[in-house]
Amino acid sequence: MLLDVKWAVRWLTMCAEAMAENRAWLIELDRPIGDSDHGENMDRGFQAVLEKLAEAPPETPGAALKLTAMTLMSKVGGAAGPLYGTAFLRAATAFGDALEVDPAGLATALMAARDGIVARGKAESGDKTMVDAWTPAAEAAQAAADGTGNVLAVLVAAAEAAEAGAVATDPLVARKGRASYLGERSAGHRDPGAASSALILRAAVGAAA
């Protein structure tokens, strides 16, 4: 089993569904340590992605992710737009013009997405940001791809690691972003970017299952 453009479009469609379903939850996560708009921004951004996909259906997984990157950069406010846009753009570049993606290519793309987020946001693991979801996800994906894992196993490994990483931000004191202004008061709250990252990677599993 390899991942093709149909998977990519299903993934992005399921991302949009997940953001709509979890919009209120993401807003509540963002309320004590952010601007209370993460859920609204992510929902709006991925609805715009669906519109763009319908207007110009992509022919490759990379093209689907590049379209997503451009749309999120223009439609999602705050730091999330540039960060997610960079992540999807780096992943699209890793996919290139390939019609299908194998486990190694998938792991490479997820690591590229993580690296893009780090480069754009200047955050590292432990800073209480989306990096705390993406770093374990990318590392787990690489480990699965290096083993006997197929693409679904790679996706599952990434999603589970991202979910655990998001939960692990709860006790952290933020060192980057708006939450860092709160100092010790940021502890006890889940990072909304890490939470939405886990939703995105879980959607990738659903699209391949």
Q: Which residue is associated with the tokens 């921004």?
A: 41
Q: Nearest to residue 193, comparing CAs of 35, 68, 7?
A: 35
Q: Model confidence over 50-84: pLDDT tens digits?
A: 999 999 999 999 999 999 999 999 998 788 999 99
The conformation of residue 149, written as its DSSP 8-state character, comes to: -
In percent, the amount of the chain with pLDDT more than 90 equals 87
| Averages of pLDDT over each 10 residues, the chain, 209 residues | 95 98 96 91 97 96 98 89 97 98 97 97 94 98 90 97 98 86 87 97 97
State the Cα–Cα distance between residues 132 and 197, nearest whole angstrom: 10
Residue 155: helix, strand or coil by DSSP?
A: helix
Domains and their CATH numbers in the chain: 5-208 (1.25.40.340)
Mark 70-93 as b/e (b = at least 16 C-beta within 10 Å). bbbbebbebbbbbbbbbbbbbbbb
